[in-house]
């Protein structure tokens, strides 16, 4: 079994594309067994709980032409990965901390991959606010978690400190951006990887 620790953020389009590329790669090597564990990283750990206005954020960070080029590049790579719509229309950029808590809790019923996929789809394809606890509880129910139990966890601030520590550890270990993949506690890949590169790496590791 090849172990892959995935360090990502739920508003990162390259993290969504990276996940889908791994999905496609695994279909090409069905005999290779891989386990995934997701670990917390926030692109902006100082994001206010309510999120920030998207247009204000974009105008401060990018010039118009640069932003259009970035969006087009993301769209083209997403289509290659089987994501038909990645340019959401939500007016804010959400705080992602609670979505990471839900991913962490989804280990209880071995549904991390399904939870991550649903969070990505909700944000990028359905333009939902994944900083909204009610949206996250709907996702929890969809992947088989008890919605009442999850609401109680959110309300009680359960595991907040645990995930803050997890993110700090990732940063202390040198993670500066996402996605990042730590394979078998050794090999580290950064950035969304092409499908063929993932296939070759998995085949190499499987022979080792």
Number of domains in the chain: 1
Q: Mind listing the pLDDT tens digit for each residue in 84-142?
A: 889 888 999 999 999 999 999 999 999 999 999 999 999 999 999 999 999 999 999 99
CATH number where 29 lies: 3.40.30.10
DSSP characters for 94-111?
A: ---HHHHHHHHHGGGGT-
Q: Mind listing the pLDDT tens digit for each residue in 146-203?
A: 999 999 999 999 999 999 999 999 999 999 999 999 999 888 899 999 999 999 999 9
pLDDT at residue number 187: 82
Give the confidence band of 61 by pLDDT, cuts at 50, 70, 90: confident
Tell which residue, 70, 73, 78, 66, has the closest CA to residue 24.
Answer: 78
pLDDT at residue number 58: 86
Confidence (pTM): 0.95
C-alpha 76/C-alpha 83 separation (Å) is: 9
**Containing domain of residue 111, as a range?**
2-207
| Surface-to-core class of residue 51, CB atoms within 10 Å of its CB (0-12 exposed, 13-18 middle, 19+ buried) | buried
pLDDT at residue number 3: 97
């Amino acid at each position: 079994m090849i172990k892959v620790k995935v360090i990502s953020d739920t508003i990162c389009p390259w993290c969504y594309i990276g996940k889908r590329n791994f999905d496609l790669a695994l279909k090409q090597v069905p005999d290779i067994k891989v386990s995934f564990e997701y670990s917390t990283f926030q692109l902006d750990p100082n994001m206010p709980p309510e999120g920030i206005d998207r247009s204000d954020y974009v105008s401060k960070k990018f010039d118009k032409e640069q932003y259009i080029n970035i969006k087009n590049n993301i769209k083209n790579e997403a289509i290659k990965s089987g994501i038909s719509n990645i340019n959401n229309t939500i007016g804010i950029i959400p705080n992602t901390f609670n979505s990471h808590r839900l991913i962490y809790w989804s280990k209880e019923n071995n549904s991390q991959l399904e939870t991550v996929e649903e969070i990505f789809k909700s944000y990028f394809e359905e333009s939902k606010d994944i900083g909204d606890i009610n949206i996250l509880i709907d996702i929890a129910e969809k992947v088989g978690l008890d919605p009442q139990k999850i609401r109680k966890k959110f309300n009680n601030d359960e595991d907040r400190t645990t995930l803050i520590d997890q993110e700090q550890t990732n940063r202390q270990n040198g993670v500066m951006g996402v996605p990042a993949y730590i394979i078998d506690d050794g090999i580290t890949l950064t950035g969304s990887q092409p499908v063929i590169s993932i296939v070759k790496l998995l085949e190499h590791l499987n022979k080792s």
